[in-house]
Amino acid sequence: MLGFALGSRFGMPTSVSVLAAFALLLIGWLIPRWWVSRKRAQRLEAVEKQLPNALTTLAKSLRAGTGLIQALDYTAQETPEPLGAELEQTLRELRLGANAEDAFAELSARVGSNDLDIAVTAIVIQRTVGGNLSEILTNVSNTIRERAKLYGEIKVLTSRQKLTGNLMALIPVLIAVAFIGLNPDLGRLLIDTVPGRIALAIGMAFEVFGLFLIRKFAQIDV
């Protein structure tokens, strides 16, 4: 609607108004998804940073002789948001009589962390076959810390490639802006003519596709 309104307000051709409306429609669809995805990623990152210390606290409580529910209660009190709230919800479910395996499976599904999946799997296996849970959680915590350290090193190594890719993607845009600024009459052919719009759309599509590939190639699972 905003694209059509701007087009009629400034007397743009119908094709330009349609192009502006489609561009704004795409932006309005992508921005909320990007925002929610970004907030989810930030929350997951915060949980994974808190997880090793929480597992260490849980293991120490178990080593001191407390039961699982008491140890989980102490860990939930000592762990801040957002992981602390998730542990408290699991604790409430256990106190209301929920099966321990189901409660921890729900915790893993809510958080969506691979590291937490490892810890939950260790707890479920220990409750099934037995073993020293405090020692198991300590080993899991050390493993998660090593993975986080390795991931940080990989992130540093791939940041240069990401920056190079972003600069390479920015060069055609800067050249196009400079070209249009030096020769506006010729630059308007990209907007006022059908072949120009097709070329502009193809160029923008390849720009987005190139950025997507660069970011995909730079993502390494640990």
Which pLDDT score, from 0 to 100, does residue 89 have?
93
Q: Percentage of the chain surpassing pLDDT 70?
A: 92
Question: With bands split at pLDDT 50, 70 and 90, how would you rate the model's confidence at 220?
Answer: low
Average pLDDT over residues 123-141: 85
3-state secondary structure the chain: CHHHHHHHHCCCCHHHHHHHHHHHHHHHHHHHHHHHHHHHHHHHHHHHHHHHHHHHHHHHHHHCCCCHHHHHHHHHHHCCCCHHHHHHHHHHHHHCCCCHHHHHHHHHHHHCCHHHHHHHHHHHHHHHHCCCHHHHHHHHHHHHHHHHHHHHHHHHHHHHHHHHHHHHHHHHHHHHHHHHHHCHHHHCHHHHCHHHHHHHHHHHHHHHHHHHHHHHHCCCCC
Question: With bands split at pLDDT 50, 70 and 90, how would you rate the model's confidence at 182?
Answer: confident
Which pLDDT score, from 0 to 100, does residue 97 have?
87
pLDDT at 53 over 80: yes
pLDDT, greater one: 22 or 36: 36
Question: With bands split at pLDDT 50, 70 and 90, how would you rate the model's confidence at 201?
Answer: confident
Tell me the one-letter amino acid at 98. Answer: A
What span, in angstroms and rounded, lies between the C-alpha atoms of 86 and 103?
11
pLDDT, greater one: 49 or 153: 49
Q: Where are the domains of the chain?
A: 36-217
pTM over 0.85: no
Do 103 and 90 contact (CB within 8 A), yes or no? yes
Which pLDDT score, from 0 to 100, does residue 10 have?
64
What span, in angstroms and rounded, lies between the C-alpha atoms of 103 and 199?
55
